[in-house]
């Protein structure tokens, strides 16, 4: 007989999941572990928020951990350890740009499940025939309604999924208010900094390095794109109140002067070829001697010629 199923909160470090944790803790509901899956390509502001909220959880005796997907088989490629450098290595874009969602499964869900599979309370629970309770921060807004409808009815022999914000009837505005009442800063929308679901105002807030990486990513993937223009898939003309935008974020960066036209031109013309040359050079070396994609990208941002 299982005494009480262990409870894990899937924390994206965004508004909804943060508010969910705050409210449940204040209500005295059990949360045995909070897991954040780091893709290595989260927004700068998200990384700044992580230690802030983890300190809050420490003060409230809530255990938390950061998990990561660990690539292992690099074949002929330089080693990488983030979703962004994975995209650059394979000259492609996140699966969401193609109407799929496998990047979340690989970089978010899988490392959390792997961590849980080695967690003693989960092992004990499963051994006794129970299920771990997983808390998901979907609210009652229209966007999360679609995500919830997609997830509703999904059965997993290891987990019971619970959606506390939907139980409470909370919208995103309610979540923001709850975070503010706790005296905490409101985190940015949780996503990779090159997520195809980003809106124009989110691109405006990105750092120069993040913008450069987006330009490089779209330029590197462009020769292989057949049905989409870039991270934003297709242009939006602005009918029905929609915000007009191009199909690729590079054009938006150029149009709004987020990077200088000369810098955008230089990245598009030179960086993909430099990256291809780097990959070819590394492929000739034993895996343990290959320079990582992260080091190449760091040199790219500093305007240096990576080795």
Tell me, which fold does domain 7-87+98-182 have in CATH? Rossmann fold (3.40.50)
Distance (Å, whole) CA 217 – CA 234: 17
| Percent of the chain residues topping a pLDDT of 70 | 93
Give 138-147 pLDDT, tens digit per residue.
999 866 555 5
CA atoms within 13 A on the CB side of 285: 15
Give 221-248 pLDDT, tens digit per residue.
999 999 999 999 999 887 777 788 999 9
- Residue spans per domain, the chain: 7-87+98-182, 200-302
Mean pLDDT of the chain: 91
Of residues 49, 50, 53, the one with CA closest to residue 22: 53
Give 38-92 pLDDT, tens digit per residue.
999 999 999 999 999 999 999 999 999 999 999 887 776 899 999 999 999 999 9
Give 188-224 pLDDT, tens digit per residue.
988 999 999 999 999 999 999 999 999 999 999 999 9
Query: Strand pairing partners for 66?
Result: 36
pLDDT of residue 1 exceeding 50, the answer is: no
pLDDT of residue 10 exceeding 90, the answer is: yes
- DSSP-H helix ranges across 102-171: 102-104, 110-117, 120-127, 142-151, 164-168
């Amino acid at each position: 007989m299982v005494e009480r199923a262990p409870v894990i909160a899937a924390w994206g470090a965004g508004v909804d999941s943060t508010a969910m944790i705050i409210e449940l803790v204040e209500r005295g509901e059990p949360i045995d572990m909070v897991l954040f899956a780091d893709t290595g390509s989260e927004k700068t502001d998200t990384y700044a928020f992580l230690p802030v909220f983890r300190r809050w959880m420490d003060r409230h005796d809530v255990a938390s951990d950061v998990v990561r997907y660990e690539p292992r088989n690099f074949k002929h490629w330089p080693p990488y350890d983030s979703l962004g450098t994975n995209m650059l290595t394979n000259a492609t874009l996140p699966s969401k740009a193609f109407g799929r969602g496998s990047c979340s499964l690989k970089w978010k869900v899988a490392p959390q499940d792997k961590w849980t599979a080695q967690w003693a309370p989960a092992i004990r629970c499963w051994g006794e025939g129970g299920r771990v309770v997983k808390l998901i921060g979907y609210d009652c807004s229209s966007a999360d309604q679609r995500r919830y409808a997609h997830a509703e009815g999904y059965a997993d022999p290891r987990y019971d999924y619970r959606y506390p914000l939907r139980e409470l009837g909370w919208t995103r505005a309610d979540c923001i208010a709850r975070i503010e009442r706790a005296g905490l800063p409101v985190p940015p929308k949780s996503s990779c900094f090159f997520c195809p679901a980003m809106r124009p105002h989110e691109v405006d807030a990105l750092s120069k390095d993040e913008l450069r990486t987006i330009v490089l990513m779209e330029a590197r993937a462009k020769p292989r794109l057949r049905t989409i223009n870039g991270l934003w898939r297709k242009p939006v003309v602005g009918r029905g109140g929609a915000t007009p935008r191009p199909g690729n974020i590079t054009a938006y960066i150029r149009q709004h002067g987020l990077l200088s036209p000369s810098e955008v031109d230089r990245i598009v013309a030179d960086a993909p070829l430099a990256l291809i040359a780097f990959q070819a050079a590394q492929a000739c070396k034993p895996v343990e001697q290959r320079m990582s994609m992260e080091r190449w990208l760091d040199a790219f941002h500093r305007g240096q010629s990576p080795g």
